[in-house]
Chains A and B, each alone.
Chain A
């Protein structure tokens, strides 16, 4: 069998999530990370209140952002009609932590404790200034919807390590009490790649995977009886027609049957020891919270899932940042730090890459009402902070610098495409080699751009 037909055969017969099937030529080099857990903070968490400490701002508070800094930068239509642009300093205090001495705001005390595991990039920048195009850009490499998502690229390129679960899983949590920016199925869609590469959403209400549960009144034995009959009939048809698609379909029904057992086992946290539960904080026992999802992410990682995408919503603090951001931090800080500790204790952090960050940063100037106790910040594409840990990135590192206003990057900028290229590199994939021909063009996650940021590699 040639590579092509072998690949076709495997992709068609094993899981539909293309278990085992890797694109020929991949990986292009030994992988440091076998998998990614991406803790996406949707809405754009403020770098100014988290990891990009700007003590000088106190002096400028209330003054308009100087034009020499803004340099005609385009604004969202929300700021464009704003009456003034008063700068505002973080209401939250910062301290240095760990051996790296990285500054972390008081909103993230647990993250501060694992700071020496983190590789913080303060100089990520993007091209989009609104949520939809910005999230889409980060997740698909293009602002305009239609391209495959990061996880779909990975499952297409690297296949799965498990027969029981899809290669690309998605977990979503809302900001509690908040509403947050909507998400959309295409963020984990397969774009122009075949649909079997799309992310499978694990849900906290109803079936964890859509249509997973047998109907009321059915036992596992009933389903077995059913499948035995179905298989026997399909086999008759296979013999009559010779269509190999039928044997694939029979295999898919068996895979579905196995998933019906493996998924509930996966989502059943009752056997997790208290010692690991406590790492994730008190929310861990509430299904659908970020904490519960972080623990599920670890369990998915253990079972060989390649790309685990979490979304936590409601970081979009145009106003009410002082009241709102601590709530989001509280929901995410301990679970994210707990996940790192848990992975580390299990020896999985070395080959699991964890990423934390949103789609853009926030402006130094206030948006909406500036009062003595409250303010908001608009979207800011020119700089934002993400952190990574494990999976071959340099621990205890702080990379990139912004100016005194956290407005422009002054050192080591990292474009979204560079960031994507770097993550792919850690997975053992040269980002220029992971391509798919569609409409006559060889498409890539990084479009025609992107450079691996070597400084971030361990």
Chain B
């Protein structure tokens, strides 16, 4: 708080108030050693606990004797000049309390040394017959200050349009309001009903939710969470009550019969950063993710810096380390890994189709079901036809192997001997699969070695990259390694392969990157496996050829014949069929057939011998299935929360992941409201606890963020910290009134925002008075004023130039960005800006790479999306000036703005009006005209320069104006977009 206001406050108040005056001193200067942190308390004396502070110490002294400062040890110790005694400890270099603080402590003890619970832990009470303006004005009056008159209508509509939609009003909207065609309330209602409102609200929430398009940390792989962003936008659009909004994000997956949307909402707690850096310790990072969820939950919903209690008891607030891990325990049961997939979403994830996709999906499923049923319906005819065919081939010598996606069928029936030196090489391009490709490999082997390579496509040493079938330790082995140490799958059969006997072996892989999708078969029967290693894979490029009898540094002794490879995952039934030695004819001749034998006949017949009329049914069923599969593969997914088996949670000593202390169970901090027995002790219960009417924090914290959004600063400036180190609310009665109003109206977000923007307090002029007693406007004697946020600045330029493409939701887009930014830091893929509409969408859709964030957003103080951020910052730097003057985005917008107005009788005024919502004064007009004339002169003398300037940006120039005129107008348009007023909400 500014010094002047503080001083003013002090003079108006006689009695010392513990929460306002004393706690900040004790908290900041005494609690580190005499506060809630048991581990760090230097002596038995503690000052955060009233009973303890007033009890006799072992030394017979009393820390505090109510009414008697001179008998109170703490007072004696803060005033003494003896360096050995003086507190805060002079011998540790801590400065003395200042005279004012000492006087406050003295007065407080004299007045009885009353303690109060921390203000924010006491639930707000309803204040009848109050409203924003009464409360603000009563306070102003007490301070001898007066409110400001209402802002001009032009100013007001621009202010409220930015505040509620993030975009400026059009000149027509402004004119209607100024001319009295619409009332202010009608304007507000129109803005709140606009889809732009939801986008504007979403961006701040996404920053709190640490939403991004990449994982963060070193490898910073991609993820795809836009369906969560869509959900947030939709929730604001529909004005979902904030309590429901919260519950669904914390525990949407656990709601009874959770809908797809509720599951998508739970992605909130999968938005945290994840890592795929080689060599990390999985558990260390899994713990990090869980801790992030606990910290984010406390910041966003409770306004508490619970993260401080991760390594030790909180030093200032009554939050124990054990309580942090009890909160942590709620988030600890997600079946997840610390080391994540680097090329897309990590499990748990769900398919998250958009509503049109859902419709299409149902349609395709119905089509598939129908085609499948039609095919089933003709089975009696197929069977009858098959029996005739069987009789016919029984006499011949017909055989079959599936040719459906057959990649290799090397006969190799006679020359089967492998002596440890022999290798059959099928080349680099045969059966070249990547990590997400399903396949089936099968071969007959007769091993005469307990360790050997059978069929491989892998580099030639054990840890090499690639896949292969082996005999190792006598067992059947399958490896698929990207990197031996941490990226791969390795399984072995529980049973041994028989030495010196022919056996048929098969591996099938579903392309899913985990051993759950791998099956091993010996002689057509699936065998049990030991999973030796199971992690995801990375895309591979290596040059090892497909080989028989060699790979991974091994050779083979024994015999091998007829390797076959299909680029699809076979079912167990198919594998049973392809493992048979008997020919089709031999099987057809049998009367008693095994299920595998029958399968071979069935499959062969259906694949190759169906009459055309029946084949059509099979083809249709198959195509319908393929269409469905293809569609499903392209559906967006989103990472969501899922409750797996309960994991034990522990206090982590000093926060170290592997240093387990006491075991804890899910619980909320004792200093806050009580847990109700009807709530389940899980995440869903936690969500109910958070949105409970008894919670003193969530409503206050939320309305305070709304206040920050509208006024630039919260009523509690430390929007992230409502604890004792945070700011005491500058006007608690107002904050409490808003919080109660919010809850009483069913946590109605649009409702509370309307209440605020309809207030006279909000509508005041923001002109700064000459005798400015309150530079930060904490007492609200004037309206809000401040620089626009990063995304509003860009969105405005797109809007006023006519470039903005308004389209709600969908995947992220890539607007302009200076070349080379990704490459210089990663050597990897370079950023490729979109073409066309992707360049002109609202900034909340811009692709956000965590480790290399969009520079033009970061320049204007956007949150970095690394961790939950709720505080809005505004700085004023030369890089911002360079950005606005020279970035392709703003230059193109300037040209388009020029093109838009050049036909206007007064183009300069029109550009000014479009951007600022008002007409220029005579003086301003003259400045604009002078600048234009100078540029026009200059570009007339150098048309080439004009043409170069006009060539900037992907969009084509659609004006026939003379280049010199247009370039001059573009220069002035750029000046207008660079005006302080243009990037300021006033």
Q: Which residues of B contact A83 (CB under 8 A)?
A: 462-463
- A439 part of interface (Cβ distance < 8 Å): yes
A146 and B725 contact, Cβ closer than 8 Å, known pairs A206-B818, A225-B934, A249-B980: no
Contact of B316 among A184, A242, A253, A440 (CB under 8 A): A440
A210 touches B851 (CB 8 A): no
Contact of B820 among A203, A240, A242, A256 (CB under 8 A): A203
A439 touches B720 (CB 8 A): yes
A182 touches B827 (CB 8 A): yes
Within the complex, the shortest CB–CB distance from A304 to chain B, in Å, comes to 16
Contact of A77 among B220, B280, B950, B984 (CB under 8 A): B280
Within the complex, the shortest CB–CB distance from B948 to chain A, in Å, comes to 4
Q: Which residues of B contact A278 (CB under 8 A)?
A: none
Within the complex, the shortest CB–CB distance from A205 to chain B, in Å, comes to 5
A146 touches B867 (CB 8 A): yes
- Complex CA distance for A172 and B308, rounded to whole angstroms: 34
- Complex CA distance for A70 and B441, rounded to whole angstroms: 42
Q: Which residue of A lies closest to B767 (CB)?
A: A241
- B891 part of interface (Cβ distance < 8 Å): yes
CB within 8 Å of A: which of B841-893? 850-853, 855-856, 858-859, 861, 864, 866-867, 873, 875-883, 885-887, 891
Q: Which residues of B contact A4 (CB under 8 A)?
A: 3
Q: Mark A284-321, 1 if CB is under 8 A from B, else 0.
A: 00000000000000000000000000000100000000
CB within 8 Å of B: which of A387-407? none
A185 and B858 contact, Cβ closer than 8 Å, known pairs A77-B486, A233-B927: yes
Q: Which residues of A contact B947 (CB under 8 A)?
A: 217
- A52 part of interface (Cβ distance < 8 Å): no
B877 touches A252 (CB 8 A): yes
Contact of A233 among B281, B859, B867, B924 (CB under 8 A): B924
A255 and B931 contact, Cβ closer than 8 Å, known pairs A130-B277, A241-B986: no
Within the complex, the shortest CB–CB distance from A136 to chain B, in Å, comes to 9
Within the complex, the shortest CB–CB distance from A178 to chain B, in Å, comes to 8
A378 touches B876 (CB 8 A): no
- Complex CA distance for A349 and B617, rounded to whole angstroms: 85
Q: Mark A256-299, 1 if CB is under 8 A from B, else 0.
A: 10011000000000000000000000000000000000000000
Q: Which residues of B contact A225 (CB under 8 A)?
A: 931, 934-935, 938
Contact of A185 among B851, B878, B948 (CB under 8 A): B851
- B921 part of interface (Cβ distance < 8 Å): yes
- Complex CA distance for A241 and B785, rounded to whole angstroms: 10
Contact of B219 among A182, A194, A250 (CB under 8 A): A182
B726 touches A440 (CB 8 A): yes
Of the candidates A82, A183, A185, A236, the one having the most CB atoms from chain B within 10 angstroms of its own CB is A185
CB within 8 Å of B: which of A173-191? 174, 179-186, 189
A186 touches B864 (CB 8 A): yes
Within the complex, the shortest CB–CB distance from B230 to chain A, in Å, comes to 27
- A16 part of interface (Cβ distance < 8 Å): yes
Q: Mark A213-254, 1 if CB is under 8 A from B, else 0.
A: 111111101110110111011101110111111101110110
Q: Which residues of A contact B745 (CB under 8 A)?
A: none
Within the complex, the shortest CB–CB distance from A82 to chain B, in Å, comes to 7
- Complex CA distance for A256 and B861, rounded to whole angstroms: 18
B725 touches A441 (CB 8 A): yes
Contact of A184 among B305, B767, B825 (CB under 8 A): B825
Q: Which residues of A contact B924 (CB under 8 A)?
A: 233, 236
- B826 part of interface (Cβ distance < 8 Å): yes
A81 touches B533 (CB 8 A): yes
CB within 8 Å of A: which of B205-264? 216-220
- Cross-chain pair count, CB within 8 angstroms: 276
B308 touches A441 (CB 8 A): yes
Of the candidates B282, B878, B938, the one having the most CB atoms from chain A within 10 angstroms of its own CB is B878
Contact of B975 among A80, A179, A229, A256 (CB under 8 A): A229
Q: How large is the interface on A (under 10, 10 to 19, 20 to 34, 35 or more residues)?
A: 35 or more
Q: Which residues of A contact B855 (CB under 8 A)?
A: 210-211
Within the complex, the shortest CB–CB distance from A354 to chain B, in Å, comes to 23
Interface 9-residue window, one of B58-66, B591-599, B966-974: B966-974
Q: Which residues of B contact A80 (CB under 8 A)?
A: 485
A210 touches B879 (CB 8 A): yes
- B698 part of interface (Cβ distance < 8 Å): no
A236 and B971 contact, Cβ closer than 8 Å, known pairs A146-B866, A203-B824, A215-B952: no
- B278 part of interface (Cβ distance < 8 Å): yes
- B695 part of interface (Cβ distance < 8 Å): no
B878 touches A16 (CB 8 A): yes
Q: Which residues of B contact A439 (CB under 8 A)?
A: 305, 307-308, 718, 720-721, 725
- A410 part of interface (Cβ distance < 8 Å): no
Within the complex, the shortest CB–CB distance from A393 to chain B, in Å, comes to 25
Q: Which residue of A lies closest to B280 (CB)?
A: A130
Q: Which residue of B lies closest to A258 (CB)?
A: B878
- B828 part of interface (Cβ distance < 8 Å): yes
Within the complex, the shortest CB–CB distance from B149 to chain A, in Å, comes to 14
- A212 part of interface (Cβ distance < 8 Å): yes
- B380 part of interface (Cβ distance < 8 Å): no
- Complex CA distance for A145 and B292, rounded to whole angstroms: 12
Contact of B721 among A81, A222, A440 (CB under 8 A): A440
Q: Which residue of A lies closest to B93 (CB)?
A: A432
- A195 part of interface (Cβ distance < 8 Å): yes
- A115 part of interface (Cβ distance < 8 Å): no
- Complex CA distance for A78 and B766, rounded to whole angstroms: 60
- Complex CA distance for A242 and B986, rounded to whole angstroms: 12
A234 touches B980 (CB 8 A): yes
B279 touches A172 (CB 8 A): no
A205 touches B820 (CB 8 A): yes
Q: Mark B771-796, 1 if CB is under 8 A from A, else 0.
A: 01000000000000101000000000
Q: Which residues of A contact B923 (CB under 8 A)?
A: 236
Of the candidates A12, A174, A215, the one having the most CB atoms from chain B within 10 angstroms of its own CB is A215
B877 touches A195 (CB 8 A): yes
Q: Which residue of A lies closest to B867 (CB)?
A: A146
- Complex CA distance for A388 and B972, rounded to whole angstroms: 52
A185 touches B281 (CB 8 A): no
Of the candidates A78, A189, A217, the one having the most CB atoms from chain B within 10 angstroms of its own CB is A217
A81 and B879 contact, Cβ closer than 8 Å, known pairs A226-B931, A241-B768, A246-B980: no
Contact of A209 among B316, B483, B856, B882 (CB under 8 A): B882
A129 and B967 contact, Cβ closer than 8 Å, known pairs A440-B724, A441-B308: no
B218 touches A181 (CB 8 A): yes
A211 touches B721 (CB 8 A): no
A241 and B877 contact, Cβ closer than 8 Å, known pairs A132-B218, A225-B931, A229-B972: no
Q: Which residue of A lies closest to B462 (CB)?
A: A83
- Complex CA distance for A131 and B280, rounded to whole angstroms: 9
- Complex CA distance for A74 and B281, rounded to whole angstroms: 9
B867 touches A194 (CB 8 A): no
- A95 part of interface (Cβ distance < 8 Å): no
Q: Mark B920-959, 1 if CB is under 8 A from A, else 0.
A: 0101100110110011001000001111111110000000
Within the complex, the shortest CB–CB distance from B972 to chain A, in Å, comes to 7
- Complex CA distance for A5 and B3, rounded to whole angstroms: 9
- B769 part of interface (Cβ distance < 8 Å): yes
Within the complex, the shortest CB–CB distance from A251 to chain B, in Å, comes to 9
A172 touches B825 (CB 8 A): yes
Contact of A229 among B484, B820, B927, B950 (CB under 8 A): B927
A211 and B885 contact, Cβ closer than 8 Å, known pairs A185-B853, A237-B979: yes
- Complex CA distance for A378 and B858, rounded to whole angstroms: 35
A-B contact pairs, 7 of them (CB 8 A): A131-B277, A174-B824, A195-B858, A200-B879, A211-B855, A256-B879, A379-B279
B residues in contact (CB < 8 Å) with A? 3, 93, 216-220, 273, 275, 277-282, 288, 305, 307-308, 315-317, 339, 461-463, 483-486, 533, 658, 718, 720-721, 723-726, 766-770, 772, 785, 787, 818-820, 824-828, 850-853, 855-856, 858-859, 861, 864, 866-867, 873, 875-883, 885-887, 891, 921, 923-924, 927-928, 930-931, 934-935, 938, 944-952, 967, 971-972, 974-975, 978-981, 984, 986
Q: Contacts A182-B828, A225-B931, A253-B978 known; list 4 others, CB within 8 Å.
A: A184-B825, A196-B877, A253-B878, A369-B463
